[in-house]
Structure 1
């Protein structure tokens, strides 16, 4: 049963027994494809709250929406073995959660790392993917963008107040996100952090930073073109922040060449990764899912 905020908490066991969490929005029997939301590296299910409410409450084509917390994030348990914080293990965790929810196939929305996990799911269990929305991610990750992420994660401050937390985020990301309003920044901080006796703290296992710190950024990261090509028959929408440092315009062009039916949206005034609840994005995503679903009828 949904709470007053429009979702219910769902806990399940990973293949290795770790207790994991997801939020579930909407009616399981709406007759339309469910939607699975996968967040970025250090983010959690709260990133999708407004979008999930929109997709699950539409009068026409309401959808069940499942937003996952990966292991070590949000309400999912932390893993004592940080080597398990990788996209392969996390993809298996998502499949376990969907099996527990009895979801055999869905449309997937992946922000950043979530999109990488979708690439892996396409190799592990391709039939589960009905449609895909990539939020500022593709088969090539720009080293400069990853270096930026590594830099701010390693220098994450411990704000004493909510206002300080907002100011810290604007200091790091403000140049890339000129389109955001005060309300957008406040919502970002609430999604990213949890309240503790020590003040606001990022809502993820601090050891996640170690997995990024160990990357050799002097060398290009392996590209995932083979995995991307395996998605060629699946309806695809790719959203790119106009100021993104992680998904380049050249990679986006090559993605279009590999997947001729791919739709694209460029979000002005935002970087990595665009806030999916802002502007016309909720309606655009909903319309894409409707079009993709009609192709199967």
Structure 2
């Protein structure tokens, strides 16, 4: 990456069903580099991408939305709308408003699922994809996530928020310093009226617990195979219980051009600043720029 990072801007837009949704906008809309859309995980928000987006904005525009029910986006009164199909519609609405029809998507967990769906949408061109610790088959860790989402109590201090974050994510994020954990907590929690709480609608937990399981005979692989003509990087945390090693390897067999990156000392999910991750993302963006 070259050039000088551009300042962050923030704005909102209206979803098709009228919710006010928030996004962060980095870089110059006229930059020659392929724009990037950063899509966060189930209970996370756009703050997870600020460091990455700031760096990438030296060469391109980077858009980081808060999905509905997260961060500064409105909560949905109909919690059943917390579903991938709705998130895809919201992303398409945002892209249309910004006049972006060709882009690279960087999707963490749920964001990676949204990315795979976007690959099959004819109104946009996915110029590249980064799937961060997710594939078409989810491992046993999904039950773990379902068990705690939306159930954590608010805390009184930021030290308590750090300890709560360590309890949930500690096994997946080994080797973080105290400063790293403090920054991680600030990205995932918000202080309201002296109460510090996770920065998402707790009813997201109800939505995922009530979602019907896939049909026993359903083939999950066509979703991933939408990316067969899209330059793709697949990241797997070496400790992950969501993207298991056999699925990770099968992804490489099914799309032989995909670049598979195993991230040491990470479970679900890598933070996208690891030494093996940065060059993989940068190379993907160079390839997308050259193809554009």
The TM-score with structure 1 as length reference comes to 0.91
The answer on whether the counterparts of 2:225 and 2:255 sit within 8 Å (CA) in structure 1 is yes
Cross-structure match for 1:247 = 243
CA RMSD, aligned part only?
Answer: 2.1
1:70-108 CA-to-partner distances (Å, cap 9, x unmatched) read 111111111111111100011010000011011111000
C-alpha displacement of 1:126: 6.8
The answer on whether the counterparts of 2:153 and 2:197 sit within 8 Å (CA) in structure 1 is no
Matched, 1:201 2:197: yes
The answer on whether the counterparts of 1:112 and 1:136 sit within 8 Å (CA) in structure 2 is yes
1:160 & 1:254 partners in 2: Cα distance?
45
Cross-structure match for 1:46 = 47
The answer on whether the counterparts of 1:229 and 1:258 sit within 8 Å (CA) in structure 2 is yes
2:29 & 2:170 partners in 1: Cα distance?
39
The answer on whether the counterparts of 2:263 and 2:274 sit within 8 Å (CA) in structure 1 is no
Q: Name whichever of 176-185 and 84-93 sits farther off.
A: 176-185
Equivalences for 1:1-297 in 2 at 5 Å? 6-57=7-58, 62-125=59-122, 127-142=124-139, 144-215=140-211, 224-294=220-290, 296=291
Q: 1:218 to 1:281 in 2, by over 3 A?
A: closer
C-alpha displacement of 1:218: 11
The answer on whether the counterparts of 1:179 and 1:270 sit within 8 Å (CA) in structure 2 is no
Which consecutive aligned stretches of 4+ in structure 1 deviate over 3 angstroms post-superposition?
Answer: 215-223
1:188-212 CA-to-partner distances (Å, cap 9, x unmatched) read 1111111111421111111111112
Q: 1:218 to 1:56 in 2, by over 3 A?
A: closer
C-alpha displacement of 1:5: 9.2
1:221 & 1:199 partners in 2: Cα distance?
46
The answer on whether the counterparts of 1:140 and 1:222 sit within 8 Å (CA) in structure 2 is no
1:194 & 1:223 partners in 2: Cα distance?
39
Query: Which secondary structure state, in structure 1, belongs to the residue aligned with residue 234 of structure 2?
Result: strand
Q: Which runs of 5+ in 2 are unaligned?
A: none
1:257 & 1:97 partners in 2: Cα distance?
34
Q: 1:221 to 1:177 in 2, by over 3 A?
A: farther
C-alpha displacement of 1:171: 2.0
The answer on whether the counterparts of 1:34 and 1:65 sit within 8 Å (CA) in structure 2 is yes
C-alpha displacement of 1:271: 0.6
The answer on whether the counterparts of 2:149 and 2:204 sit within 8 Å (CA) in structure 1 is no
1:48-86 CA-to-partner distances (Å, cap 9, x unmatched) read 0000011112xxxx1110001111111111111111110
The answer on whether the counterparts of 1:241 and 1:273 sit within 8 Å (CA) in structure 2 is yes
2:111 & 2:218 partners in 1: Cα distance?
17
1:250 & 1:74 partners in 2: Cα distance?
34
1:150-199 CA-to-partner distances (Å, cap 9, x unmatched) read 22325413221111111111122222221322222112111111111142
1:120-161 CA-to-partner distances (Å, cap 9, x unmatched) read 21223374200000000111111x211111223254132211
1:182 & 1:232 partners in 2: Cα distance?
41
